[in-house]
Amino acid sequence: MSSNTSSGGQGGPPPAVDKTIIITRFDPDQDEAPRKQEYTVPCEDNWKVLDAVNFIKDEIDPTVSHRWSCRMAVCGSCGMMVNGEPKLTCKTSLKEYGDRVDIEPLANFPVVRDLVVELDGFMHKFESVKPWIKRAKEKAEDKAALHETKLTYTQSAEELADFKQFSMCINCMLCYAACPVVANEPEFLGPAAIALGHRYNLDTRDEGTEERLEIFRGEGTVFSCSYANECSEVCPKNVDPAAAVNQAKFGAVIDWAKGLVLPRAPHAAD
């Protein structure tokens, strides 16, 4: 095994420390079920968990499969379970852990191979909350709301502040891996999708709120959430999906009550 161990001389970086990295392996063509494989890795002091997995892939075992891209907590690709907790591995320092670090695929997702999980169900849930600005057919009076030169709908900083936090999601899926409701009810719409739908419901430019609230009133959505708050605890971008889900509960109840006394408007076009 080759290594890029530092010398660790006086004033230089600390010497590399050997750690045992335990990776969950699964080859759909050969393995009946996922299994564990241990690797000894000389870890630099400033390494993130992703650096250790990349080292294994590059220097020890090229068959290890994992997802990663930006290395700066923006793309949301490198989510994995690290010692049992969902982590964005490019943001998680190896120094936080002891000599043995257990790296597994994200919990609550089917495993395609090694540390790579199946995304189809997640993407389907995302799409189902219609995460885009929905407008009713353009009306003449709408033009009055348009910015004179930019021809865009204006929004105050205060209005933006109402939902900006919920728009910072990077779709890393850590919240789904942490959620005890997803673990028990895989069909649960889940924290990130509900937070995204709620983000558009709070957007003053959007007219699709009633349609999304109809989705939120359905089974397996906001009222399945038991407010464990785990999604917010593990979120690497401080989106606080638990707040969004529970605000959406409030919105769904108010909308349901309004629907008892007021006729519902037709849905905005997709």
Partner 1 sequence: MAGPAHPEAMAPPTPGRTRTAPPQMPSTWWSAPRIRTYLLFDATGVIYFLVGFLAIKIVGQLADGPIAWQAQMKALENPLYIAFHVLALASVIFVAVRFFRLFPKAQPPSIGPAKPPPGPVIHAGLYVVWLGLTALISLALAGVIL
Chain residues in the site for partner 1 (CB under 8 A): 24, 26, 28-29, 31, 33-34, 81, 84-85, 102, 104-105, 107-113, 118, 120-121, 124-125, 128-129, 162-163, 180, 183, 186-187, 189, 202, 214-215, 217-221, 223, 226-230, 233, 240, 242-243, 246-247, 249-251
Which residue, among 22, 38, 169, has the nearest Cα to 105 in the 3D structure? Answer: 22
How far apart are the C-alpha atoms of 142 and 195, rounded to whole Å? 28
Tell me the closest approach of the beta carbon of residue 81 to partner 1, in angstroms. Answer: 5
How far apart are the C-alpha atoms of 15 and 3, rounded to whole Å? 12
In this structure, which amino acid lies at residue 5?
A: T
* Bridge partner residues of 113 (DSSP): 116
Whether residue 106 contacts residue 119, with contact meaning beta carbons closer than 8 Å, is answered with no
Tell me the closest approach of the beta carbon of residue 112 to partner 1, in angstroms. Answer: 6
In this structure, which amino acid lies at residue 183?
A: A
* Phi/psi of residue 109, nearest 5 degrees: -120, 140
State which residue, 26 or 42, has the beta carbon closest to partner 1: 26
Residue 66 DSSP SS3: coil
State which residue, 3 or 246, has the beta carbon closest to partner 1: 246
State which residue, 28 or 62, has the beta carbon closest to partner 1: 28
Tell me the closest approach of the beta carbon of residue 50 to partner 1, in angstroms. Answer: 18
State which residue, 129 or 172, has the beta carbon closest to partner 1: 129
Residue 209 DSSP SS3: helix
How far apart are the C-alpha atoms of 266 and 227, rounded to whole Å? 32
State which residue, 26 or 39, has the beta carbon closest to partner 1: 26
Tell me the closest approach of the beta carbon of residue 203 to partner 1, in angstroms. Answer: 12
Tell me the closest approach of the beta carbon of residue 224 to partner 1, in angstroms. Answer: 11
